């Protein structure tokens, strides 16, 4: 049941390989889900099929039911792993899906012409617009969008079978959101291909930290940060990383977390103070005097922000560099 998602792994240089890697996995999903199709009652399947408007898209009831079964099994109907869903929970899960968009995606993935016409009519323009937004350039955006089109259309064939990434759309989110995610991943792949040096350059301030802090202290700090961060909540870590490492604005972070800007600011402040306190405590626990520990973090509280950023970079760069060294 462990199905690794599509990879934009650092070890994989291109998105094409990413897609090919997923082909076999997608097929495997469908093959495995075959016997479980009876989980969907026929009446419910008929109702959902009609609600999805699957008929004009030339998607049969069986095909649609199969897709629903596969999606439910993949996410365990929205329940924690290990829990066995009952009929009611399954029905709620299926009814909550974006059924019409799921039908279009499935129809496209199966190569139905009418589904493609509808897909193009509904999503071609927004998709191109989103690509232009992401790249910040009309030419780059259109290039990105057209590359994605060909991929979605299923021009890639493996083992004589046509495959489209649309097969992996689950219907839990909107199809447009999924398309944006695909675009964003492709864009990040592009970045990685063309901008690795640039990204490494962004870590440059860490060198200055190294200059300021002795090596031993740096190692101590790195370990302390790792420990402190592991104790912090996932949200705190995300906020710290996005703010200090990616230099995202509070507004951008608030949109991702779907909270107000002020809330993010509060969380960030709390996380920073907590982190600093924990770091001081950890450093002093490792034998540093209070003064030495404060110096290591920067005495002036105003310096804490910038120092944290450097330290976080060190910390985030640490495992990767270790890994690269291992490789």
Partner 1 sequence: MNWNFQLGIHPDADQLSVFVEGAATSREHEQMLAHLAECAECRKAVFFMQPHEEAQRAARTPVKGWILGRLLPVGLPAAALACGLVAVLIYLRPHGAAPPASQQVASLRKPEVILPPTAIAPSADSEMDQRSRLPRGVAPVNDLSRRDNLKLPTVNLPSSTGRQAAARVAAPETTTANLSANAPVGHAGGSAGGVIGRISPELPLNGRNYDRLENFAKLQQVPAPPVAQGAASQNSLAEKKDLGGLMIERAPAQDKTLAGVSGRITDRSGAVVAGVTVMLRDASGNTRGTTTGADGSFNLTGLPAGRYELTATASGFKTIEQSIELNPSQLAMMEPVLDAGKVSETVEVTSAAAQLQTESANVGQVITGQVVAEVPVVGREVGAPFGLPVTATVSHGKRLISLDSAGNLFLSRNGGKKWKKINPQWAGKAVRIELTPSYSNEAPAKPENETLGKANEAAVFLLTTDSGTAWTSKDGAHWRKQ
Number of residues that bind partner 1 (CB under 8 A): 59
How many degrees, rounded to 5, is the angle at CA 198 between CA 192 and CA 202? 115
Q: What are the CB-based long-range contacts (under 8 Å, 24+) for 85-88?
A: 87/41
> Using the rule CB under 8 A, is 149 a contact of partner 1?
no
What is the nearest approach in angstroms of partner 1 to the Cβ of residue 55?
25
Helical axes 250-257 vs 261-285, angle rounded to 10°: 100
The token pair at 283 is: 């450093």
> Using the rule CB under 8 A, is 130 a contact of partner 1?
yes
In the chain, how many H helices and how many E strands?
15, 2
The binder of partner 1 chosen from 158, 226, 248, 286 (CB under 8 A): 248
Cα separation, 225 vs 245, whole angstroms:
14
Cα separation, 195 vs 10, whole angstroms:
13
For tokens 């489209």, what's the residue? Answer: 164
Alpha carbon separation from 291 to 282, 294, 297 (Å, rounded):
13, 5, 10
> Using the rule CB under 8 A, is 227 a contact of partner 1?
no
The binder of partner 1 chosen from 51, 138, 181, 262 (CB under 8 A): 181
**Segment interacting with partner 1, rule: CB under 8 A, options 61-69, 154-162, 177-185, 215-223:** 177-185
Residue 46 or 305: the one with the smaller Cβ distance to partner 1 is 305
> Using the rule CB under 8 A, is 255 a contact of partner 1?
yes
Query: What is the Cα gyration radius of the chain?
Result: 24
> Using the rule CB under 8 A, is 200 a contact of partner 1?
no
- Contact track, partner 1, 77-96, x by CB under 8 A: -x-xx---------------
Cα separation, 276 vs 298, whole angstroms:
10
- Alpha helices, DSSP H, located in 232-297: 234-240, 250-257, 261-285, 290-297
The binder of partner 1 chosen from 270, 281, 290, 323 (CB under 8 A): 323
> Using the rule CB under 8 A, is 100 a contact of partner 1?
no
> Using the rule CB under 8 A, is 273 a contact of partner 1?
no
Residues forming the site for partner 1 (CB under 8 A):
1-11, 22, 74, 76, 78, 80-81, 129-130, 133-134, 165, 168-170, 172-174, 177-178, 180-185, 187-188, 191-192, 199, 229, 234-235, 237-238, 240-242, 245-246, 248, 252, 255-256, 258, 316, 319, 323
């Amino acid at each position: 049941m462990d199905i690794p998602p599509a990879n934009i792994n650092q070890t994989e240089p291109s998105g094409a390989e990413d897609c090919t890697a997923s082909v076999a996995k997608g097929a495997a999903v469908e093959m495995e889900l075959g016997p479980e199709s009876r989980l969907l009652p026929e009446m419910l399947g008929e109702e959902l099929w009609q609600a999805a408007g699957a008929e004009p898209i030339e998607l049969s009831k069986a095909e649609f039911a199969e897709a629903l079964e596969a999606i439910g099994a993949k996410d365990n109907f929205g329940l924690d792993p290990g829990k066995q869903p009952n009929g009611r929970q399954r029905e709620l899960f299926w009814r909550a899906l974006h059924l019409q968009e799921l039908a279009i995606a499935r129809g496209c993935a199966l190569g139905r012409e009418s589904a493609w016409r509808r897909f193009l009519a509904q999503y071609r323009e927004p998709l191109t617009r989103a690509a232009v937004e992401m790249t910040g350039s009309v030419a780059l955006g259109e290039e990105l969008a057209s590359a994605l089109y060909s991929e979605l259309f299923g021009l890639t064939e493996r083992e004589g079978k046509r495959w489209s990434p649309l097969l992996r759309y689950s219907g839990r989110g909107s199809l447009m959101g999924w398309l944006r995610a695909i675009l964003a991943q492709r864009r990040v792949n592009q970045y990685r291909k063309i901008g690795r040096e640039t990204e490494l350059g962004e870590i440059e301030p860490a060198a200055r930290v190294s200059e300021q802090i002795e090596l031993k202290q740096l190692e101590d700090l790195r370990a302390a940060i790792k420990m402190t961060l592991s104790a912090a909540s996932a949200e705190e870590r995300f906020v710290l990383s996005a703010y200090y490492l990616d230099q995202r604005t509070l507004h951008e972070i608030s949109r991702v977390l779907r909270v107000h800007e002020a809330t993010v600011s509060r969380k960030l402040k709390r996380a920073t103070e907590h982190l600093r306190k924990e770091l001081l405590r950890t450093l002093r626990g490792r034998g540093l005097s209070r003064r030495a520990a404060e110096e290591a973090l920067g005495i002036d509280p105003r310096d804490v922000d910038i120092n944290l950023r450097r330290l976080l970079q060190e910390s985030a760069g640490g495992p990767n560099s270790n890994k690269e060294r291992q490789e």
